[in-house]
Structures are given as structure tokens and as C-alpha cells.
Structure 1
Amino acid sequence: MKRPFIIFYATIIYALAQLFWWGYRLVILQPTRIGMVLGEGSMFVLVFALGAWSLHKSVNKERRLHEQKKNFLLSVTHELKSPLASIKLYLQTINKRSTLERQQILSFIDKCLLDVERLDDLVENMLLASKIENQSYTFPKENFSLSALVDSVVNRLQINKCDFNQQLINAEIEPKIEITGDKFALSSVVTNLVENAIKYSKPCEEVGVKLFRKDNNIYLQVADRGIGIADSEKGRIFERFYRVGSEDTRNTKGTGLGLYIVKMVLDKHDATIHVRDNRPAGSVFEVVF
């Protein structure tokens, strides 16, 4: 991307040099027209500078989007290969070792199923993001229990023992909270928020999930004690493909679609989402219906 920038700035410098040169020549030939030359020249420089700045912003945005898409493809490849490799290893172990006890086999199968769910979540995210982007998803509405939905997602992602790369989810879910909305899309919202909290937390750090009703509003809060989000990035985390940190140095897995889906789905449900700092560390995502 350096070559287009070099050509772009060289063209700007050449155009401005020509402008000043011909302006100088005109003033030399017709000194009485200096006021007109300065006025017209100033207006041209102003319009030219605004156009150049706008074009520079567009090129920069396109360059960032290109880098994000490239990293998105790399992330998706990694996200797909990791659980597939895990499933393959467990199945090969079951197939080759006839001495395995039934309990071990069942444990391996449970781990395979968890990896399958992880793959399923990834594919569903990509499909939903694509449909939202193409405006082909209709968001069918129905009345259902949001309490049961949040409880189901938490139970699926809950880890009951603290081991390497495992978190504990502390859930406080007010019962019998009903809502009218797209159950599938809102399930994706809850899943993405909880998975993000787990992903960006340290091993064995508690993740908090709260669902409650207050002042005729329904609140869903997901809190972590992870790395936190800088104030300069809080306004951009809901952009498609955007991920916190540098595109070159980031080491946390992910596709950059999760929070984009969250924002788009909540907009369709007239709901809002805000992020604030947790204390002493981490972030709190608060959804208000």
C-alpha cells in the first residue's frame, strides 16, 4: 500500500507547485490582478486540500479494512483448524486404543461435542453476519423467556472446575423475564457477549452475568476482569472485523464479527448496548431492552 501513497502525495505536490508557478506568472504579467489571483488561488487550495484529505481518509480506511479482512481469514482458518484437530485427535485415540475405559471414552466424546459446538457457533456467526450485511435476514419475532435463554447459554458455556484456560461464570438471572424478539439472533447476542468475556479473561478469573428488570427496562450485564478496553477504542469495537489492539501484534483468537452481530441485532430490537470499565480491571457490557 506504500506505492499508491507515494504517487498520491507526489501528484498533490506537483499540482500545488503548478498552481503557485502559474499564479506567480500571472501576477508578473498582470500585477493589477493580484487580488483575484490570491482569492481564487486560496479557494482552490482550500477545496483541493479538503479533497486530498477526504481521499487520504478513504484510502486509509480501505487499507485498514484490507488488513482486517486478511486477518479475519487467518483467524477463521485458525478457529476452524483448532477444534477440528482436537476432534481428530480424540477420535483417533478412541479408534486406536482398545484398552480405554468407558468413562474415558465418554469424556473424549464430551470434549468432541464441545468442539463441535464451538464450530457451530463460529459458522452461525459468519452466516448471521453475512445475512445482516446483505439485508436478507428478517429477524422473525416471537414471545419467549429471556431468562431461560440466558440460563441455557450460561449452562452451555459454564465450566465447573478451574483448570488451565478455564473460567467460572457467576450468573444471577431473574426468573420469568419475557421478551418479544428473534430468539435465535438474541441467543447469538448472549453467546457472543459471554464468550468474549471468557476469551479476554485470565484463566480462573470469574465472569459475571446478570439479568434483571428495573424501571420497566430489562438489563443484561456481562462483566469480566480481563484486559479492558481503552477509551479510544470503545467507539469502534462494534465495527465489522474490528478487534481491540494492533492487527500485527494481537494474539487473542477471534474473527471480529461477534460484537458487530451484537450491535446489529440489538438495533433491530430497539435495544442499546454500552461498555464501561470494570473495577479493578476488565469491562462491563450492559444491554438495555
Structure 2
Amino acid sequence: MASLFLLIPAVALIVVGVLVLVFSRAVVDVTFGVLILCSCAVLLGGAVWLVVSLKRTSDLSQLQLDFLSKVSHEFKTPLTSIRMFVDTLAERRLTSEAQTARCLTLLRQETERLSALIDRLLDFGRMQAGKMVYHREPESVAAVVEAALRAFEPLREQEQVAVEIDVQPDLPPVLADREAVSGALLNLLHNACKYSGEVKRIRVECRRENGRVALSVLDNGPGVPRRERRRIFEVFYRMDDRLSRRVGGSGLGLAIVRHVAQAHGGRVRVTSRAGGGAAFSILLPVLSG
């Protein structure tokens, strides 16, 4: 029964894809729609496998049970939006191509949100199984930052986030899996966006620190209390405060950041800044020789 229930998101997304292809007319490219549909369905299948595996484990801790509840909620929110957009398209309530295009843009954003959540779930599953493989090559820090910012751009535009970038010139290269490290940096950007103030401002800094390069993301949110800093990178852990409960989240993003940093011989760090805000950093060793 649990497996059947968990398959509902996959079925719902398949229905969404079909309806988009049927009702969007020429506004959206059919091939692109099929690719989104297939990719999301495959990712959802992997997520279902992961969650079912966790539920079958007899010694699930309370944190894991809380995690399953949070993930269910994270799935439900975008799926509710998707259903609303599909109903609008199906009932042909939109009177212009511009309105249809806007609806499809929002629909795409929600499917990307689902995809990002599933990516985190699958990464977490591979990490827990010890099967996460990193392909490390000499990479410029600027290229890693650029890749993360490019992936962050849709959310930055949607949330109207002001982003400031300060990369120290002539930084030495790092031996890194660009996709993994830029993904970890993207997790920090998403985290900063969630916890920033009403007027969202984020600063990305890259500095050399004692044989390491620090990739830091600074926000203008409430900061992280000292008592929380030791545990904030733990799997499933989320701060027990009103803001954390309001913004939601699976509790995996920062744990994945720490895993990526440690797999590259580095570490993570969090500090609170004078005047408010938090600074999360990934510290990676520079490439010697």
C-alpha cells in the first residue's frame, strides 16, 4: 500500500506531461516536453525506491520519520501547483498566448523544483550506500562558481535576489568534480535564498585561506545560533525554530554539502556575521605542484 501511495507523484507528473503536450498548443516545444516528462518520471522512480527502502528499515529513528514527513510535504506543495496549472490549461481558461506561456513557465518551474528535490534524494542514497563517485580534475574556482550561479539564475529571478560576487583574483586551481562542487555551492545558494530577509541579498566570496580556497555564501537572514552550528550539517537535522518550520526543506542539502567537501579533502564552516546573516563556506585544498 505504501509503495502504491508513493507512486502517485510519478503518475501525477506523467499526467501533467501529457496534458501539457495536449493543451499547450504551439507555445511549448513538444520534444522538450517529452524530455522533461521522461527525465522527471525516471527521477521520481528513483526517489520512490529510496523512500520505500527507508520505510522498510525496522529501526528508523524519529529523525528519519520526520524526514519522510518533510519529503512528503515537499512533494505535495509543487504537485498542488502543477495540478492547478493543468486544470487551468485543460479548461482553456487562458485567453491569450502570453497567459498560456506564463502558465507553462510556472509549470516548468514547479517540475524543476521537484527534480531538484529528487536529485538531492538520489545523491543522499548514493552517499549513504558509499557509491557516490567523484571525477576530480583541476578546476578553476571561477568556473565552479559560474556553474553554480548559472543553475541558480531561475530561482534568483523568481525571488528577485540581489547577488554580489567577489572572487579573489589569481586563485589557484582546485582538484574537484566540478558538477559536485558547483552543486554543493548551489545548495548553499538555495539555503541562503530561503533564509534571507524580506529583501533578499546574497554575497558569494572566494578567498585563499592557509592552503585552502574558501567558497562562501553570505545571506542577510537571522544567522545561525551558536548552539546549532555543530549539528546543522548533520543528515536530517534542521534548526528547531519558527523560521525553519515556515520555509520547509528536506534537511538534506547541508549534509550533502559536507559530504562533498570532505570527499574532496576539505571541510565546511558556518559563522554568523555582525549585523545579522550567516556565512556558509566550503573549504577545499588548493592543487599543489
TM over 0.5, yes or no? yes
Distance 1:143 1:112, change over 3 A: farther
CA distance in 1, matches of 2:219, 2:123: 25
Q: 2:184 aligns with which of 171, 183, 189?
A: 189
Residues 20-58 of structure 1: CA distance to partner in whole angstroms, max 9, x if unpaired?
A: xxxxxxxxxxxxxxxxxxxxxxxxxxxxxxxxxxxxxxx
Distance 1:103 1:155, change over 3 A: farther
Distance 1:204 1:246, change over 3 A: closer
CA distance in 2, matches of 1:69, 1:205: 31
Residues 108-146 of structure 1: CA distance to partner in whole angstroms, max 9, x if unpaired?
A: 222222222221111111111111111111222234444
**Superposition deviation, residue 202 in structure 1:** 2.5
**Structure 1-normalised TM-score?**
0.68
Q: 1:258 corresponds to which residue?
A: 253
CA distance in 1, matches of 2:169, 2:103: 34
Distance 1:270 1:284, change over 3 A: same
Q: 1:147 corresponds to which residue?
A: 142
Query: Is the Cα–Cα contact under 8 Å of residues 145 and 176 in structure 1 kept in the other structure?
Result: no
Q: Which amino acid aligns with 1:67?
A: Q
Query: Is the Cα–Cα contact under 8 Å of residues 151 and 173 in structure 1 kept in the other structure?
Result: no
CA distance in 2, matches of 1:234, 1:272: 14
Structure 2: gaps spanning 5 or more residues = 1-59, 285-289
SS in 2 for 1:220: strand
CA distance in 2, matches of 1:270, 1:155: 25
SS in 1 for 2:220: coil
- Larger Rg, first or second structure (1 or 2): 1
Q: 1:172 aligns with which of 149, 166, 169?
A: 166
Query: Is the Cα–Cα contact under 8 Å of residues 151 and 186 in structure 2 kept in the other structure?
Result: no
What is the root-mean-square deviation in Å for CA atoms of aligned residues? Answer: 2.7
**Superposition deviation, residue 213 in structure 1:** 4.6
CA distance in 1, matches of 2:208, 2:70: 37
Q: Which amino acid aligns with 1:130?
A: G
Q: 2:265 aligns with which of 270, 274, 277?
A: 270
Q: 2:12 corresponds to which residue?
A: none
Distance 1:110 1:286, change over 3 A: same
CA distance in 1, matches of 2:283, 2:229: 17
Check if 1:123 corresponds to 2:95: no
SS in 1 for 2:274: coil
Structure 1: gaps spanning 5 or more residues = 1-64
SS in 1 for 2:249: coil
CA distance in 1, matches of 2:105, 2:258: 32
Residues 49-69 of structure 1: CA distance to partner in whole angstroms, max 9, x if unpaired?
A: xxxxxxxxxxxxxxxx72221
Distance 1:74 1:166, change over 3 A: farther
Percent identity, aligned pairs only, is 28
Query: Is the Cα–Cα contact under 8 Å of residues 235 and 251 in structure 2 kept in the other structure?
Result: yes
**Structure 2-normalised TM-score?**
0.68
Check if 1:219 corresponds to 2:214: yes
